[in-house]
């Protein structure tokens, strides 16, 4: 491990990460926006699950990068954002080198852009088992998608006599929109808690359901606890009282095989940047019979059939909810990321990540003096992520993550946009979190655990930049930037 001395964490912020140690591929030849990228995705070959990471790592430039000169990057923060395969980057380049708007131009370049954009919609639909690509609405991300439902469906359907049910383990993006929606409509917001084992209290969730419950919104996989919620059971209970169901699938779509028909939810949201696609785009899936009854949320071009000075007539779904010029390049990149996942096979991805999940938990369980959050693998399948804290209350996760960074190990520290959950767990200042993807290896887990043991020793000894929760901006190291 690189020696950590006082001030090192401050000084390293001035360093510039080195370029990948393996040269990138050469220039991309002109082509329609999706053609070569699709070929790159098709080039992925099927092998045994244990070899999956070795098979795909060459597709991800960041995994061949030094965090600092001579310190290889070990990227263990895919729960926050994933790395992007070369075919996705290539698709972005191809679009921007041959740009045109979609659904408007009567010339070849525009037609190719539209084809690539709509192909992306079809790829997303295929990945999640949607009945039709027209059920996929592109948004700026999962947060935008939840707000769309809260504003459009919520404003049209919630009244002061109604209730919305969520859970304490939600990401802020699945809490705040419902706070705003219930404040706006007068409806009541309720939430279910967690068990002592760190799972959702499903029995409490069911008890809170009443005939007044109009919508339930919950996460498929907790981004902190790693537990996989029983979606079908919860959706069935919600539908029994006449409620609609919104599923936050940001942490599940990239890691599990999803079939919306089988889950029987009414809405599903996810973000591209967590599923190996570009930032700035996500999607809402909804049952067509529900979407068709929802009023527009944003007004402008694209979402209309006719505009008159005194009234407008709106387009059909999905255009009704895609006002203005859409995130074309980002959507194309998301589509290629979906093609990449489909070619790998989500059954295979899920099986390999379950191996990593068990290995990660078992490895961290052997580290002295830390508390792991969430249910162990012995209680059922869980995601390949673990949040943890030092059992000593004055050892902050921000310091642990900062020292690990000096060794090239990238993990998350803070509340992971889940402050209510951390309060429920008694983790006032957040937690440290390691989150894996199919491109990670058991060797990386071993290196992380070795570095973690030394980092804990360093932080416990006081020989590191110390995070001050009362004045988080007092130091200039990464600790001060890990609060949300």
Specify whether the CB–CB gap between 181 and 187 falls below 8 A. Answer: yes
Helix (H, G, I), strand (E, B) or coil at 26: coil
Specify whether the CB–CB gap between 194 and 168 falls below 8 A. Answer: yes
Query: Is residue 467 in some structural domain?
Result: yes
Same domain, yes or no, for 160 and 280?
yes
Query: Is residue 235 in some structural domain?
Result: yes
Query: Is residue 151 in some structural domain?
Result: yes
Helix (H, G, I), strand (E, B) or coil at 218: strand
The confidence score (pLDDT) of residue 8 equals 38
The confidence score (pLDDT) of residue 467 equals 56
Same domain, yes or no, for 240 and 161?
yes
Same domain, yes or no, for 361 and 329?
no
Specify whether the CB–CB gap between 127 and 258 falls below 8 A. Answer: yes
Tens of pLDDT, residue by residue over 232-249, are 999 999 999 999 999 999
Length of the chain: 484
pLDDT above 50 (res 271): yes
Whether the full predicted model's pTM is greater than 0.85, yes or no, is yes
Helix (H, G, I), strand (E, B) or coil at 326: coil
Q: Determine how β-strand 267-271 pairs with β-strand 244-248.
A: parallel
Same domain, yes or no, for 442 and 459?
yes
Active site residue 417: yes
Same domain, yes or no, for 445 and 412?
yes
Same domain, yes or no, for 131 and 164?
yes
Tens of pLDDT, residue by residue over 60-116, are 999 999 999 999 999 999 999 999 999 999 999 999 999 999 998 999 999 999 999
CA distance 416 to 404: 18
Share of the chain above pLDDT 70, in %: 85
Tens of pLDDT, residue by residue over 353-406, are 999 999 999 999 999 999 999 999 999 999 999 999 999 988 999 999 999 999
Of the candidates 328, 333, 268, 325, which has an alpha carbon nearest to the alpha carbon of residue 298? Answer: 325
Residues in contact with 207: Cβ distance below 8 Å, sequence separation at least 6, in sequence order: none
Specify whether the CB–CB gap between 219 and 169 falls below 8 A. Answer: yes
Same domain, yes or no, for 337 and 379?
no
Of the candidates 345, 350, 484, which has an alpha carbon nearest to the alpha carbon of residue 418? Answer: 484
Options 417, 465, 475, 477, the catalytic residue: 417
pLDDT above 80 (res 173): yes
Tens of pLDDT, residue by residue over 335-348, are 999 999 999 999 99
Specify whether the CB–CB gap between 46 and 345 falls below 8 A. Answer: yes
- Kindly report the CATH number assigned to the domain that includes residue 264: 3.40.640.10
Mean local confidence (pLDDT), 439-460: 97
Q: Tokens standing for 454? A: 């030394």
Residue 393: count of CB within 10 angstroms of its CB: 11
pLDDT above 80 (res 170): yes
pLDDT above 70 (res 313): yes
């Amino acid at each position: 491990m690189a020696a950590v001395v006082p001030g090192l964490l401050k000084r390293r912020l001035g360093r510039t990460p080195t370029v990948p140690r393996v040269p990138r591929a050469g220039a991309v030849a002109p082509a329609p926006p999706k053609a070569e990228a699709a070929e790159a995705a098709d080039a992925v070959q099927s092998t045994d699950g244990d070899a999956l990471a070795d098979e795909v790592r060459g597709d991800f430039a960041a995994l061949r990068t030094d965090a600092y000169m001579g310190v290889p990057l070990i990227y263990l923060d895919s729960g926050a954002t994933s790395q992007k395969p070369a075919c996705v980057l290539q698709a972005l380049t191809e679009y921007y080198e041959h740009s045109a708007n979609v659904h408007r131009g009567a010339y070849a370049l525009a037609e190719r852009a539209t084809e690539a954009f709509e192909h992306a919609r079809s790829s997303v639909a295929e990945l999640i088992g949607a009945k039709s690509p027209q059920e996929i609405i592109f948004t700026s991300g999962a947060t935008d998608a939840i707000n769309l439902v809260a504003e459009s469906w919520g404003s049209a359907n919630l009244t002061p006599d109604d209730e919305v049910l969520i859970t304490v383990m939600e990401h802020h993006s699945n809490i705040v929109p419902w706070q705003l929606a219930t404040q706006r409509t007068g409806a009541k917001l309720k939430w279910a808690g967690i068990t002592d084992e760190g799972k959702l209290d499903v029995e409490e969730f069911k008890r809170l359901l009443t005939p007044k419950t109009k919508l339930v919104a919950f996460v498929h996989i907790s981004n902190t606890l790693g537990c996989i919620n029983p979606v079908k059971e919860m959706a069935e209970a919600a539908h029994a009282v006449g409620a609609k169901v919104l599923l936050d699938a940001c942490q599940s779509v990239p890691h599990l095989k999803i079939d919306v028909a089988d889950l029987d939810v009414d809405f599903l949201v996810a973000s591209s940047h967590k599923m190996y696609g570009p930032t700035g785009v996500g999607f809402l899936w909804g049952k067509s019979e529900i979407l068709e009854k929802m009023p527009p949320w944003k007004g402008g071009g694209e979402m209309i059939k006719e505009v008159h000075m005194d009234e407008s007539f709106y387009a059909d779904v999905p255009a009704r909810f895609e006002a203005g010029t859409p995130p074309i390049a980002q959507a194309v990149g998301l589509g290629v990321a979906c093609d990449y996942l489909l070619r790998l096979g989500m059954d295979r991805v899920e099986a390999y990540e379950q191996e990593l999940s068990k290995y990660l938990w078992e490895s961290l369980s052997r580290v002295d003096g830390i508390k792991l959050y969430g249910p162990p693998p012995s209680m059922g399948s869980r995601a390949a992520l673990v949040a943890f804290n030092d059992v000593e209350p004055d050892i902050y996760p921000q310091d642990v993550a900062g020292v690990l960074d000096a060794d090239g190990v990238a993990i998350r520290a803070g509340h992971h946009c889940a402050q209510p959950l951390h309060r429920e767990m008694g983790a006032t200042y957040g937690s440290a979190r390691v989150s894996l993807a199919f491109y990670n290896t058991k060797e990386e887990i071993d290196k992380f655990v070795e570095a973690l043991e030394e980092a804990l020793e360093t932080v416990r000894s006081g020989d590191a930049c110390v995070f001050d929760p009362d004045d988080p901006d007092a130091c200039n190291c990464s600790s001060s930037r890990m609060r949300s």
